[in-house]
């Protein structure tokens, strides 16, 4: 799966990592629903850090279609809320 982190670029991520990312995505949704700004910020950074850790960066000049787009690290709660689907940020 190709994942784009807005403002950073793309990484290739094995589908086997999706369940691990979904746990963080679930935590992020809970924090958003509860209006927990500090928790939201911490979990968003943890989610993006995990994607960077598990993924393999693609070359800057690579233009692969992204299967998943994640917000930038400095995205606001409102910006992330606008990106959500019924499954959160990460389908599955």
Average pLDDT over the chain, rounded to whole?
A: 92
Structure tokens at 65: 């279609």
What is the predicted pLDDT for the residue at 71? 96
Mean pLDDT of 30-58: 94
pTM given for the model: 0.90
pLDDT at 1 > cutoff 90: yes
Are the C-beta atoms of 13 and 1 separated by less than 8 Å? yes
pLDDT at 64 > cutoff 90: no
What is the predicted pLDDT for the residue at 88? 84
């Amino acid at each position: 799966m190709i994942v784009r982190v807005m403002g950073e670029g793309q990484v290739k991520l094995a589908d086997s990592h999706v369940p691990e990312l979904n746990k963080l995505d679930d935590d992020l949704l809970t924090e958003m629903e509860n209006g927990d700004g500090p928790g939201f910020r911490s979990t968003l950074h943890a989610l993006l850090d995990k994607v960077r850790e598990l993924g393999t960066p693609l070359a800057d000049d690579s233009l692969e279609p992204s299967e998943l787009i994640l917000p930038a690290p400095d995205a606001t709660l409102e910006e992330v809320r606008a990106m959500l689907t019924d499954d959160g940020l990460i389908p599955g």
